[in-house]
Amino acid sequence: MKKAFSVILVVLFVLTLTGTTFAALKVGVSMPTQSLQRWNQDGGHMKQQLEAAGYEVDLQYAGDNEVPLQVSQLENMISGGCKVLVIAAIDGGALTTVLAEAKTQGIPVVSYDRLIMNSNAISYYATFDNFKVGVLQGTYIRDQLKLDTEKGPFNIELFTGDPGDNNIVFFFGGAMSILEPYIKDGKLAVKSGQVARDQAATPSWSTERAQTRMENLITSNGYGPSGVKLDAVYSSNDSVANGITNALVDAGYTPENFPVLTGQDCDVTSMKNILAGKQSMSIFKDTRTLAAQVVKMVDAILKGGKPEVNDTKTYDNGTGIIPSYLCDPVFCTKDNYKTLLIDSGYYTEDQLK
């Protein structure tokens, strides 16, 4: 009897040591949309890695960027017993009420990729260095057009993403930190005059809306392969770049005369466009790395430890600075995609054919 009791004690001790509990703790993961490749990858990686760490996962996608759906999914995660919420918000200002409930119930929230604004319920933020994303894109345009040595002027138009996504402040801000001096001294001309962030915005990061705006810009400014030369289009991400590409191709542009066009995410459609000469570059943000970092954060929170952060200055959500971990973005072109994407196992060569 005594022996059996000691065996049970030893088993319990080992289970505790290995972090195994009888009922796994539940983590809520809320993603903004299922209609964009990157968020499917983010969600998939989060689920896989959290489960491997021994957690139960409630993973939800808010339809196609539907804010009320994201709110109700979060309500269900709170009432369903999630111990931590990981949220990539559609509109970082629209979650204040539901997150106040999380805070009341003592459920910590990790803001994933996008900073959730005006809520004091956010414990941590994990993302890529979003300002650097913009700087890499702006620098690419500067170098491709040789703005420091060529006379110009060069024509450019500007596109960013959804106005409710705090990331565009950094993407657009980073790009403009490089391009603005050239716009000011006239070497870069934005013929439409649409240079402010809200004028360049693309609601829901929609490919269709970007396409329509690019078509309008082509018509109203006379851009075309045999019309007014369009040298570059700044786009904050790939879903927007895809719409721009569609409009440019419809207007008769070919790989031989295609404007310099930026993007972000290395989505499959964009990588195929890059290989075909219908987009110039993208930004590679390895979602496996971001997920791994967030899983470490969640694990530290639930075990009473201190999550690793590397930025405690940049991200103020209106209630104060949110301690952040920034992963490193890198630029990707047809010259380095093999090393970045294929050799690292992110894609197979076949997926990009």
**Interface positions with ligand BGC (CB under 6 A):** 36, 38, 113-114, 161, 165, 167, 205, 237, 239, 264-265
Minimum gap (Å) between residue 189 Cβ and ligand BGC = 27
Q: Which is nearer to ligand BGC, 171 or 337 (CB)?
A: 171
Instruction: Give 91 or 265: the residue with its C-beta nearer to ligand BGC.
Output: 265
What is the H or E stretch that residue 27 is in?
A: strand 26-31
How many whole angstroms separate alpha carbon 245 and alpha carbon 243? 5
Helix (H) or strand (E) holding 112: strand 109-112
Distance of closest approach, residue 264 Cβ to ligand BGC, in angstroms: 5
Q: What's the rounded Cα separation, in Å, for the pair 243 and 204?
A: 13
Q: Please say which residue, 113 or 157, places its beta carbon nearer to ligand BGC.
A: 113
Q: DSSP states of 265-297 as a string? A: S--HHHHHHHHTTS---EEE--HHHHHHHHHHH
Minimum CB distance to ligand BGC smaller for 107 or for 122: 122
For 229, the 3-state DSSP assignment is coil
Least separation in angstroms between CB 14 and ligand BGC:
42
Instruction: Give least dist CB 343 to ligand BGC, A.
Output: 22
Q: Give Dmax (Cα) for the chain.
A: 92
Identity of the residue, 231 or 265, whose beta carbon is nearer to ligand BGC in the bound complex: 265
Q: How far is the CB of 68 from ligand BGC (least distance, A)?
A: 19
The residue whose Cβ lies closest to ligand BGC is 237
Q: Is 109 exposed, middle or buried (0-12, 13-18, 19+ CB in 10 A)?
A: buried
Nearer to ligand BGC, 60 or 239 (CB): 239
Burial class (CB in 10 A: 0-12, 13-18, 19+), 37: middle
- Measured distance CA(159)–CA(199) in Å, rounded: 8
CB of 232 to ligand BGC, least distance (A): 19
